[in-house]
């Protein structure tokens, strides 16, 4: 039987505060998609705490937020964003390039599996990011094959593929920046946990002007429970 670390153990998710609110007003997140309740590792039941307790908090807060709003289209943001999304959709549907989105996706999977799971080398991470930039270039030249407006799975898939590519850059660059080993992030060149420099949460945000992720680091509050090495 082939034993392999599951993708589930790639830690991280949307940043949320204690109200499960993201940094985008009105967007709440709970469960697998957000980052709370696990650090560099997933301990048993962390994920279910995240989805069950986080859901109890996020749901009522989302309802409260919605009730306090005037009208959905009151400030014009909704309309302008819908127009932007419609333009992206129209561009995708008429794109006549020569790239197959499913092939790009397969290449992405192979690339990330090769150098971006548990064992990580800086040189390989840098090469991974360079290849991700290439894939982001190639996705501009995509050809959906199916241009229908009904049940077009290639279309929905390709929109998600762009997000996967951006998120993969976050994973590769975030790993490159963290020169230590912690939990499911193991760098043979930096085999020890380095609390002095790296007891921090990596935070990435998207910079649309640069079309790439930017990074900052948030210290972890250990005032109640001091960290200690985990030994079995």
Ligand X SMILES: Cc1cc2nc3c(=O)[nH]c(=O)nc-3n(C[C@H](O)[C@H](O)[C@H](O)COP(=O)(O)OP(=O)(O)OC[C@H]3O[C@@H](n4cnc5c(N)ncnc54)[C@H](O)[C@@H]3O)c2cc1C
- Minimum distance from residue 83 beta carbon to ligand X (Å): 20
Closest-approach residue to ligand X (CB): 31
Q: At residue 73, what are phi and psi to the nearest 5 degrees?
A: -105, 15
- Minimum distance from residue 43 beta carbon to ligand X (Å): 9
Cβ–Cβ < 8 Å for 142, 176: no
- Minimum distance from residue 11 beta carbon to ligand X (Å): 12
* From 8, 84, 114, 200, residue interacting with ligand X (rule: CB under 6 A): 8
- Minimum distance from residue 225 beta carbon to ligand X (Å): 20
Of 45 and 72, nearer to ligand X (C-beta) is 45
Nearest to 139 by CA among 116, 164, 169: 164
Of 58 and 172, nearer to ligand X (C-beta) is 58
| Token representation of residue 151 | 């049940």
| Token representation of residue 20 | 């499960």
Measure CA 89 to chain center: 22
Of 63 and 133, nearer to ligand X (C-beta) is 63
| Token representation of residue 57 | 């908090």
Cβ–Cβ < 8 Å for 128, 110: no
Positions in 15-54 near ligand X (CB under 6 A):
31-32, 44-48, 51
Phi-psi map region of 26: left, alpha, beta (phi>0 left; psi -120 to 50 alpha): left
Of 20 and 128, nearer to ligand X (C-beta) is 20
- Minimum distance from residue 183 beta carbon to ligand X (Å): 16
For residue 25, give the DSSP letter. T
Of 45 and 88, nearer to ligand X (C-beta) is 45
User: What is the binding site for ligand X (CB under 6 A)?
Assistant: 8, 31-32, 44-48, 51
């Amino acid at each position: 039987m082939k034993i392999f670390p599951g993708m589930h153990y790639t830690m991280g998710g949307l940043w949320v505060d204690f109200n499960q609110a993201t940094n985008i007003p009105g967007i709440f997140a709970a469960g697998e998609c957000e980052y709370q309740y696990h650090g560099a590792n997933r301990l048993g039941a962390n994920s279910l705490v995240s989805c069950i307790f986080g859901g109890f908090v996020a749901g009522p807060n989302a309802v409260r937020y919605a009730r306090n709003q005037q009208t959905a289209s009151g400030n014009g943001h909704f309309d302008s964003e819908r127009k932007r999304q419609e333009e992206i959709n129209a561009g995708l549907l008429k794109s006549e390039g020569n790239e197959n989105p499913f092939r790009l996706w397969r290449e992405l999977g192979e690339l990330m599996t090769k150098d971006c799971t548990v064992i990580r080398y800086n040189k390989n991470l840098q090469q991974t990011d360079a290849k991700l930039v290439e894939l982001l270039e190639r996705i501009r030249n995509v050809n959906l094959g199916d241009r229908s407006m009904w049940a077009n799975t290639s279309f929905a898939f390709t929109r998600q593929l762009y997000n996967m590519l951006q998120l993969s850059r976050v994973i590769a660059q975030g790993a490159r920046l963290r020169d230590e080993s912690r939990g499911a992030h193991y760098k043979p060149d930096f085999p020890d946990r380095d609390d002095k420099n790296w007891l921090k949460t990596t935070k990435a945000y998207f910079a649309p002007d640069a079309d790439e992720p930017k990074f900052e680091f948030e210290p972890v509050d250990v005032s109640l429970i001091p960290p200690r090495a985990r030994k079995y």
